[in-house]
């Protein structure tokens, strides 16, 4: 008994006709109590404690071959059970949707810190001690590590070098123009929970308790890495302490734990240290971006150019899609894009929260601010003047877009009219004060998803799907959707997630989790409503379900009385034509007030507002929390986060949270988030859009634009650390 929907047409608002009234409410996270009381078991905490413990050994060369290891000496050390030197350990982390780990020359080291062996012992201390003692011999080769050196080999994929009209001519003819180059550094997702796996085998069947975002893909990646049938792999990830992209695909600890557990015939736990997370999982690529803007006398764009260089390991398919938002955000007839991938021997580059928009909009939105000043037009007004009627490159309509309302509403709420457009004018003691604005935009995606919903005879329900909750609120919103559709109190719905034994969902990635997995739950419940209607010989639209009571025309009874057995359905959503025919994105506007210290050049964000339109908001509290998180990432990108590579060997210098500075505590001021009322019938049957990445997109540029307004210092190299601000400050 299944319900399937392919999104070929816009969908009516069914949720809006329901009676329970829990969708959209600020329901608190139902996983909260088990997390704060320590009852939620994260991957590293799985098992009985009798597991053997593995510690990864990493390469101390940048490129070359492992020619030998003195593993016998280490095997003789106290507590050591095994030294695993399997060449499969050398596979790079997977990207999460690839279904396969990249094939690599076995034995070949491609970056400094790459896992090359696993030492397994009775205790963590014994394993770590022995791992440090393992002597490895290498045949090292010359390695290229600088993405921006003239000699570095660069790929230019043809599909990403595009041009429409004549940008050079537009630049020449422009009344006002900007031609600026920006850089953004490498970053780390820095999820609170490090990557961890506990592997156990039962004959040919592997169960891996891991910290992963997309288990249906992770299962295939792991099977592929091990050379086994995916049907023999089960992955469990009921609680995940943040991912932000770093857990989209499997990391080396999962493969190592699985190989060791098979070898030893015993469960093995491998937990990455923080430096290992930095060096051996995934980085966000650093970028260099040239942005050109051409405008007429009214500030209307006649041309946009966005040319970027990013980096990754040789042969890796992923490259940071920098210009994503530039394609659809602003008007302008003449457009040019270029995309270069520098092939360097640094830690694998992959997706981190809003790959593309997060870094691309740091440059684009900074350039828009430069244009506003060049043209003497208010930066909010400049953006409003350049909102296109339809997608400026392919002519598609926007599925929903309250972009202009976000800018206007945000400006009014923030008190934008009080901003002095002339930089360096406002002082508060030794602080320069300024305000900045930036647009927010992030593509919205629907992915195939399935979910099982069981309506029990006692009028409770259970939702089961392999969808994950990575701290985003999935447990809570899926319960809300089922409760709304089935007319049950929220407490009567239980949700089970993160297990490949459940129906496969989209996983947590690309901000598609809520809309995709949520739609699968919605569809399953729609079918259940049909079943109830059939029992009463009526139409589902005649049913009112509320608090466990069924009302239809002139009868009313309790759901528990009506049901004589459990009803089970699977809902199945698939993207369809609406993905092709419309341009899908969430939109918004960021406003920041910043204080820059006149003595030290230190920047502090004083307050920030994000106004967003993201379709139906499923849970006011968890959605707002997602946007808070994105804006905090924006503060980090603007002011502090910079993963530094040593140019000699490409190793990561600041591989810990003491020296890689994410914003904490007082780095984060009052953050206000406002959602405008919106429905998107083209997105999915919930009419919702993703919020996980919208909040980061553009956020950092609002801050650097505020620094410019405060001081007249234009920071084009992120982050705006004090050494980059201080030299340009006006004299007192």
Footprint on this chain of ligand MOS (rule: CB under 6 A): 213, 243-245, 248, 351-353, 355, 509-510
- State how far the Cα of 399 lies from the Cα of 176, in Å rounded to an integer: 32
Smallest gap from residue 159 Cβ to ligand MOS (A)? 21
Closest chain position to ligand MOS (CB): 245
Residue closer to ligand MOS by CB (options 243, 286) is 243
Q: Which of 307, 296, 366, 363 is nearest to 331 (CA)?
A: 296
Smallest gap from residue 98 Cβ to ligand MOS (A)? 13
Strand partners, 572: 4, 450
Reduce the secondary structure of 452-511 to three states and give it as a string.
EEEECCCCCEEEECCCCCCCCCHHHHHHHHHHHHHCCCHHHEEEECCECCCCCCCCCCCC
- State how far the Cα of 494 lies from the Cα of 596, in Å rounded to an integer: 49
Residue closer to ligand MOS by CB (options 285, 709) is 285
Smallest gap from residue 355 Cβ to ligand MOS (A)? 5
Smallest gap from residue 245 Cβ to ligand MOS (A)? 3
Strand partners, 181: 290
Per the structure block, which two tokens stand in for 48?
A: 């009985």
Active site (annotated) includes residue 693: yes
CA atoms within 13 A of residue 193's CA, in its CB half-sphere = 25
Please tell me which residue in 51, 316, 464, 693 is annotated as part of the active site: 693
Smallest gap from residue 304 Cβ to ligand MOS (A)? 25
- Per DSSP, 449 falls in state E
Residue closer to ligand MOS by CB (options 353, 452) is 353
Residue closer to ligand MOS by CB (options 251, 433) is 251
Q: Which of 116, 6, 105 is nearest to 55 (CA)?
A: 116
Residue closer to ligand MOS by CB (options 305, 355) is 355
- State how far the Cα of 613 lies from the Cα of 680, in Å rounded to an integer: 10
Residue closer to ligand MOS by CB (options 213, 552) is 213
**Tally of CB atoms within 10 A around 562:** 15
For the chain, counts of helices (H) and of strands (E) = 18, 31
- State how far the Cα of 720 lies from the Cα of 638, in Å rounded to an integer: 6
- Gap between the terminal Cα atoms of the chain: 75
Residue closer to ligand MOS by CB (options 436, 515) is 515
Smallest gap from residue 629 Cβ to ligand MOS (A)? 12
Residue closer to ligand MOS by CB (options 113, 355) is 355
Residue closer to ligand MOS by CB (options 95, 302) is 95
Which helix (H) or strand (E) segment is 33 a member of?
A: helix 32-36
Q: Tokens 């992915």: give the residue.
A: 447
Smallest gap from residue 339 Cβ to ligand MOS (A)? 18
Which helix (H) or strand (E) segment is 662 a member of?
A: none
Helices (H), 270-340: 274-280, 326-329
Residues in Cβ contact with 176 at an 8 Å cutoff, skipping those fewer than 6 apart? 294, 295, 296, 297, 299, 371, 374, 375
Residue closer to ligand MOS by CB (options 355, 575) is 355
Smallest gap from residue 510 Cβ to ligand MOS (A)? 4
Per the structure block, which two tokens stand in for 625?
A: 């929390």
Per the structure block, which two tokens stand in for 92?
A: 């790079």
Smallest gap from residue 49 Cβ to ligand MOS (A)? 31
Smallest gap from residue 694 Cβ to ligand MOS (A)? 12
Residues in Cβ contact with 99 at an 8 Å cutoff, skipping those fewer than 6 apart? 217, 220, 221, 224
CA dist 455 → 480, 508, 635 (Å) = 14, 25, 44
Q: Residue 153, class by beta-carbon neighbours within 10 Å (0-12 exposed, 13-18 middle, 19+ buried)? A: exposed
Active site residues: 693
């Amino acid at each position: 008994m299944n319900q399937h929907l392919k999104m070929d047409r816009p969908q009516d608002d069914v949720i809006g006709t329901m009676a329970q009234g829990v969708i959209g409410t600020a329901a608190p996270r139902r996983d909260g109590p088990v997390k704060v009381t320590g009852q939620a078991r994260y991957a590293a905490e799985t098992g009985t404690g009798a597991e053997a413990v593995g510690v990864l050994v990493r390469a101390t060369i940048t490129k070359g071959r492992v020619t030998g290891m003195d593993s016998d000496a280490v095997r003789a050390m106290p507590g050591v059970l095994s030294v695993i030197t399997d060449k499969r350990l050398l596979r790079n982390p997977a990207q999460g949707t690839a279904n396969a780990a990249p094939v690599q020359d076995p034995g070949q080291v491609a970056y400094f810190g790459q896992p090359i062996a696993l030492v397994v012992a009775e205790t963590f201390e014994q394993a770590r001690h022995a791992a440090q003692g393992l002597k490895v011999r290498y045949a090292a080769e010359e390695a290229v590590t600088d993405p921006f050196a003239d000699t570095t080999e660069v790929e230019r994929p043809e599909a990403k070098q595009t041009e429409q009209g004549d940008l050079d001519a537009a630049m020449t003819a422009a009344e006002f123009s900007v031609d600026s180059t920006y850089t953004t550094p490498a970053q780390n997702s820095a999820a609170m929970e490090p990557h961890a796996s506990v592997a156990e085998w039962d004959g040919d069947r592997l169960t891996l308790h891991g910290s992963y975002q997309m288990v249906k893909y992770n299962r295939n990646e792991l099977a592929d890495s091990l050379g086994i049938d995916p049907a023999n792999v089960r992955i469990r990830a009921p609680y995940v302490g943040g991912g932000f992209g770093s857990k989209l695909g499997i990391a080396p600890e999962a493969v190592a734990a699985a190989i060791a557990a098979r070898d030893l015939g015993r469960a093995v736990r491998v937990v990455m240290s923080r430096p290992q997370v930095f060096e051996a999982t995934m980085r966000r690529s650093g970028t260099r971006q040239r942005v050109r803007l051409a405008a007429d006398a009214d500030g209307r764009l006649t041309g946009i150019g966005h040319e970027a260089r990013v980096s990754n390991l040789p042969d890796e398919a992923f490259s940071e899609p920098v210009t994503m938002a530039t394609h659809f955000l602003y008007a302008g007839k003449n457009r040019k894009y270029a995309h270069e991938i520098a092939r360097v021997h640094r830690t694998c580059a992959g997706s981190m929260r809003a790959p593309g928009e997060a870094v691309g909009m740091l440059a684009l939105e900074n350039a828009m601010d430069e244009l506003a000043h060049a043209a003497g037009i208010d930066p909010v007004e400049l953006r409003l003047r350049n909102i296109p009627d339809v997608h400026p490159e392919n002519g598609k309509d926007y599925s929903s877009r309250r972009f202009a309302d976000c800018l206007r509403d945000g400006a009014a709420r923030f008190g934008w009219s009080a901003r002095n457009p002339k930089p360096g004018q406002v002082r508060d003691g030794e602080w320069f004060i300024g305000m900045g604005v930036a647009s927010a935009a992030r593509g919205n995606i629907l992915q195939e998803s399935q979910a099982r919903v069981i309506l029990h005879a006692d009028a409770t329900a259970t939702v089961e799907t392999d969808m994950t909750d990575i701290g985003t609120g999935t447990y809570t919103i899926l319960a809300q959707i089922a409760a709304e559709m089935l007319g049950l109190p929220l407490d009567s719905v239980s949700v089970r997630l993160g297990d490949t034994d459940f129906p496969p969902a989209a996983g947590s990635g690309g901000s598609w989790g809520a809309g995709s997995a949520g739609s699968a739950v919605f569809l399953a419940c729609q079918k259940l409503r049909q079943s109830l209607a059939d029992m009463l010989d009526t139409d589902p639209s005649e049913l009112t379900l509320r608090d466990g009571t069924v009302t239809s025309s002139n009868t009313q009874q309790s759901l528990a009385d009506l049901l004589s057995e459990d009803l089970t359905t699977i809902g199945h959503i698939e993207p369809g034509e609406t993905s092709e025919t419309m341009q899908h994105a969430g939109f918004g506007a960021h406003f920041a007030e910043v204080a820059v210290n006149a003595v030290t050049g230190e920047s502090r964000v004083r307050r920030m507002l994000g106004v967003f339109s993201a379709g139906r908001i499923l849970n006011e509290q968890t959605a707002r929390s997602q946007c808070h998180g994105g804006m905090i990432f924006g503060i980090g990108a603007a002011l502090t986060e910079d993963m530094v590579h040593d140019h000699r060997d490409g190793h990561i210098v600041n591989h810990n949270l003491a020296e890689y500075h994410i914003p904490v505590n007082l780095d984060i001021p009052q953050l206000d988030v406002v959602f405008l009322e919106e429905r998107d019938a083209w997105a999915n049957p919930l009419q919702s859009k993703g919020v996980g990445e919208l909040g980061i997109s553009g956020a950092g540029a609002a801050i650097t634009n505020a620094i410019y307004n405060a001081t007249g210092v234009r920071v084009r190299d992120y982050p705006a650390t004090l050494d980059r601000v201080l030299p340009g400050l006006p004299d007192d």
